[in-house]
């Protein structure tokens, strides 16, 4: 379970954020100033911080500086519409994103999920289920111990990159990933315009695992968003 540290000197905002996040299945740790947030981050297993900028005792910018000395955990700043200078300053000292108050709960949850997903793909301190040696979805079976893939019982020969892409998508079924995110996860590098490379490898992968690559059962495209692995 992901643990999110929520910090704001307005208790009503902390409670509201806690309700929205808990409804999504997240654990919530609460703090009411920057100093308290830093102390709780030191002692707790936290995967993301939602923090206000204007707070007593220690403001969000100062706390942001302290957080970056000890952790690369994603930080989303909560800002007022009039705090444009503070938004820029917050991003320059290491914040990952910001949300303007009053915030839309749907947008807030989407931003949180995006940052957690990126943090996980970059190897952050995110709780993970133990990895299984074998992944099976529909007729596709990936044996990671033997590095073999079978389709309806028949062995298929994949390149190292095709295997890595298939494994990544099968480990996250029914989740859409943009080409740049797949590139970052598989090549372990920044994409820098290499998204077309992903499309080429996925086309070759489809030709090997799909009965009809033009009507894929497993590796599906969500137009304008990316690719996902899902059983028909």
Residues 191-215 have pLDDT tens digits of: 666 678 899 999 999 999 999 998 9
The CATH classification of domain 134-229, taken from the options 1.10.10.10, 3.80.30.10, 3.40.50.10860, 1.10.3720.10: 1.10.10.10
Average pLDDT over residues 64-85: 84
CATH architecture of the region 3-121 = 3-Layer(aba) Sandwich (3.40)
Domain ranges of the chain: 3-121, 134-229
Query: 71 Cβ partners below 8 Å, 6+ apart?
Result: 41, 46
Q: How much is the average pLDDT of 15-39?
A: 94
| Between 31 and 120, the higher pLDDT residue | 31
Residue 128 pLDDT more than 60?
no
Distance CA 9, CA 106 (A): 22
For residue 62, which of 43, 44, 75 has the smallest C-alpha distance?
75
The helix or strand, by DSSP H or E, that contains position 114, with its residue range, turns out to be helix 105-121
Residue 127 has pLDDT above 70, yes or no: no
The pLDDT score that the predictor gives to residue 79 is 85
Q: What is the mean pLDDT of the chain?
A: 87
- Residue 83 in this model has a pLDDT that exceeds 80: no
3-state secondary structure of 51: strand
**Residues 31-59: pLDDT tens digits?**
999 999 999 998 778 999 999 999 999 99
Of 169 and 224, the structure prediction assigns the larger pLDDT to: 169
Spell out where the chain has E strands: 3-7, 27-31, 48-52, 75-80, 97-101, 134-137, 140-143, 148-151, 154-156, 219-222, 226-229
| Stretch 7-13: mean pLDDT | 95
Nearest partner of 13 among 83, 87, 108, judged by Cα: 108
Whether residue 126 is predicted with pLDDT greater than 60 in this model: the reply is: no
Query: Is a pLDDT exceeding 90 seen at residue 189?
Result: no
Q: Does the CA dihedral 218-137-47-4 come out positive or negative? A: positive
Is a pLDDT exceeding 70 seen at residue 81?
no
Residue 101's pLDDT is 86
Domains 3-121 and 134-229 share a fold: no
The pLDDT-based confidence of 130 (bands split at 50, 70, 90) is very low
């Amino acid at each position: 379970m992901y643990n999110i540290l929520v910090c704001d000197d307005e208790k009503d905002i902390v409670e509201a954020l806690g309700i929205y996040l808990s409804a999504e299945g997240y654990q919530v740790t609460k703090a009411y100033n920057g100093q308290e947030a830093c102390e709780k981050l030191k002692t707790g297993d936290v995967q993301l911080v939602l923090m206000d900028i204007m707070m007593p005792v220690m403001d969000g910018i100062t706390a942001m500086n302290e957080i970056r000395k000890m952790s690369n955990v994603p930080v989303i700043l909560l800002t007022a519409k009039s705090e444009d200078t503070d938004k820029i300053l917050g991003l320059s000292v290491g914040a990952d994103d910001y949300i303007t108050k009053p915030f839309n709960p749907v947008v807030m949850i989407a931003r949180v999920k995006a940052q957690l997903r990126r943090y996980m793909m970059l190897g952050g301190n995110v709780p993970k289920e133990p990895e299984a040696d074998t992944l099976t979805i529909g007729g596709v079976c990936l044996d990671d111990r033997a590095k073999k893939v079978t389709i309806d019982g028949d062995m298929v020969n994949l390149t190292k990159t095709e295997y890595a892409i298939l494994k990544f998508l099968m480990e996250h079924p029914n989740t859409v990933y943009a080409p740049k995110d797949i590139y970052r996860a598989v090549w372990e590098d920044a994409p820098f315009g290499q998204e077309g490379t992903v499309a080429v490898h996925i086309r070759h992968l489809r030709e090997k695992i799909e009965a009809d690559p033009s009507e894929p059962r497993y590796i599906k495209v969500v137009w304008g968003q990316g690719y996902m692995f899902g059983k028909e």
